[in-house]
């Protein structure tokens, strides 16, 4: 690891595949926009992904594989 070195975000992060991701149920529900989700630390994103989140595009529920198929 090089200290002080900036790392560029992958190009796919500039091309959203979903509008919102919803994690959890009931009172523990967490909602993130695509941008908010991408800005979370990787370990937190992985933790949320393991909980089988639901993805939405234009207000419609979409398949998780479609949400994670980045085209870039």
Q: What is the pLDDT of residue 28?
A: 86
* Contacts for 69 with CB less than 8 Å, ≥ 6 apart: 17
Three-class secondary structure of residue 32 per DSSP: strand
8-52: per-residue pLDDT in tens?
555 555 678 899 999 988 888 999 999 999 899 999 999 998 988
Distance CA 61, CA 22 (A): 10
Given a cut of 70, is residue 6 above it in pLDDT?
A: no
Model pLDDT, residue 43: 95
Instruction: Render pLDDT for 49-70 as a digit per residue (tens, 0 to 9).
Output: 898 899 999 999 999 888 877 6
3-state secondary structure of 31: strand
Task: Report helix, strand or coil for 43.
Answer: helix
pTM: 0.71
């Amino acid at each position: 690891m090089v200290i002080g070195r900036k790392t560029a975000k992958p190009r796919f992060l500039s091309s959203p595949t979903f509008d919102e991701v919803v994690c959890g149920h009931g009172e523990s529900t967490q909602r993130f926009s695509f941008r908010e989700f991408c800005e979370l630390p990787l370990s937190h994103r992985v933790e949320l992904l393991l909980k089988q989140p639901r993805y939405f595009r234009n207000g419609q529920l979409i398949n998780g594989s479609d949400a994670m198929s980045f085209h870039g």
